[in-house]
Amino acid sequence: MAKYKKKRARELKHDKFRDWTLKFFDRLGDQLEGKGRTILYGIGGVVILAVLIGVFLKWSHRRDDQARQALGRAIAIASQSVATTPTATPTSSPSFASEQERAQKAIEEFQKVAAKYGEPYRSEARYFIATNLLLVDRAKGLSELTELSKSSNREVATLSKFALAQAKEADGKYDEAAALYKELAAQNNNVITPETANLRLAMVYEKQGKKKEAADLLFNIVEAARKAKDDADNTPLPQSQAARDAAQELQKLDPDRYAQLTPEAPPNNLPF
């Protein structure tokens, strides 16, 4: 009897749910009566919109691939070595007699990218154009880098400022270069790390005859790198190339200060 009651209770409950469901759809049918065409138009509009979005995304991905390939071809040209002597065996790679000739060809390719594609490829292409202009029309290249250092594209702005600082350093404008390196170090950006910016700043100080300032900065770079620990297991973090270069430079510049550094942690040679 008890089992029957439980079974019947389930049946009644099921019937109650069925009745409620049928009433709900009846009411919904009454509300939608006479609106079938409007609903079809609405559904059709949603379907068309979905198709258009799909087509746009597919076109956008294809466009991005084309832009990346075009940018890659231009970078390959800019990275091509200059032939110091004519080669007897012809190669498929373009050959350039001078850095200026290579830079001019690279500029032409980057200009095609900037003219054809949108962001971020346009700004990236403009950055490469500016750096290559330093070999063809230095004043114009410096002007372009100055403008790009204020770009809304953070990566392009950082790279442009660093290239501008290097150009100022190469031109012997050490105060201007130092100011730019200080700005980059303060940004704490992964594109140009504080270690890299401070290493270049120390090299500028050295060129200015500021030996103590250079040694202090180099010491701080290396000391911080050697003391850095992994938060997870408290093991020493691997040192960056900038930190290793700073150690070598400090050893040459001030051996006594170099001897005061925290000893370098032994490498972890565990097989796992």
Cα separation, 60 vs 119, whole angstroms:
12
Which pLDDT score, from 0 to 100, does residue 252 have?
Answer: 96
Which pLDDT score, from 0 to 100, does residue 59 have?
Answer: 44
Which pLDDT score, from 0 to 100, does residue 41 have?
Answer: 45
| Four-residue CA torsion sign, 12, 18, 24, 29 | negative
Which pLDDT score, from 0 to 100, does residue 63 have?
Answer: 76
Q: How many CB atoms lie within 10 A of CB 63?
A: 14
C-alpha distance from residue 21 to each of 18, 33, 39 (Å): 5, 18, 22
Which pLDDT score, from 0 to 100, does residue 64 have?
Answer: 82
Based on its alpha-carbon atoms, the radius of gyration of the chain, rounded to whole angstroms, reads: 33
> Containing H/E element for 25?
helix 2-32
Which pLDDT score, from 0 to 100, does residue 267 have?
Answer: 66
Tell me which CATH homologous superfamily contains domain 161-264: Tetratricopeptide repeat domain (1.25.40.10)
For the chain, domain boundaries: 57-81+96-148, 161-264
Which pLDDT score, from 0 to 100, does residue 167 have?
Answer: 97
The string of pLDDT tens digits covering residues 196-237 is 999 999 999 999 999 999 999 999 999 999 999 887 888 888
Cα separation, 139 vs 123, whole angstroms:
19
Which pLDDT score, from 0 to 100, does residue 230 have?
Answer: 83
CA-wise closest residue to 187 among 198, 176, 177: 198
Q: Check if the beta carbon of residue 195 is closer than 8 Å to that of residue 225.
A: yes
Farthest CA pair distance, the chain: 105
pLDDT < 70 positions in the chain: 1-61, 84-94, 267-272
Place of tokens 């201007």: 176
SS (H, E, C) 160-227: HHHHHHHHHHHCCCHHHHHHHHHHHHHHCCCCCCHHHHHHHHHHHHHHCCCHHHHHHHHHHHHHHHHH
Cα separation, 244 vs 232, whole angstroms:
24
Cα separation, 131 vs 228, whole angstroms:
34
pTM value?
0.73
Which pLDDT score, from 0 to 100, does residue 233 have?
Answer: 84
